[in-house]
Amino acid sequence: MKITTAITKGVLVVKLSGEFDMHGAECFRETVDEYLNNMGIKDVVVDLEEVVFIDSSGIGVILGRYKKIMHLKGTICLVGVQDSVKKILELSGVLKILKIYSSEFEAVSCL
């Protein structure tokens, strides 16, 4: 999995591509935690547009960041979720607590 980051209007945007599995989950956690712990970031947009598969490790690390961000009184949301990944997120219950936006611009504007 490939991870790229950018900060837009004080919001961390994390773009992922490939398979979001146990190998990518640890890298995602380390990347996001670095911004949360050391750079004062509280709001995160996770762009899943190029993610073709997500497993329980990916779901778990997203939920872990959700808990951490809620503790910081921030917000985390998703954008660009493909139908196959969306189905997995729906079945896991993630979409009951995380909002999906249609674009990065919309997500950043709403945070």
d(CA 54, CA 24): 10
Give me the chain's average pLDDT, please: 95
98, exposed or middle or buried, with CB in 10 Å at 0-12, 13-18, 19+? middle
Residue ranges making up the domain that contains 63: 2-110
- In the chain, the number of structural domains is 1
Quickly state the pLDDT bin for 56 (edges 50, 70, 90): very high
pLDDT of 111: 81
Specify the pLDDT at position 86.
96
What gap in Å lies between CA 44 and CA 52, rounded to an integer? 21
Confidence of residue 110 (pLDDT cuts 50, 70, 90): confident
CATH number at residue 50: 3.30.750.24
Q: If you average pLDDT over residues 38-43, what whole number do you get?
A: 94
- pLDDT for position 60: 96
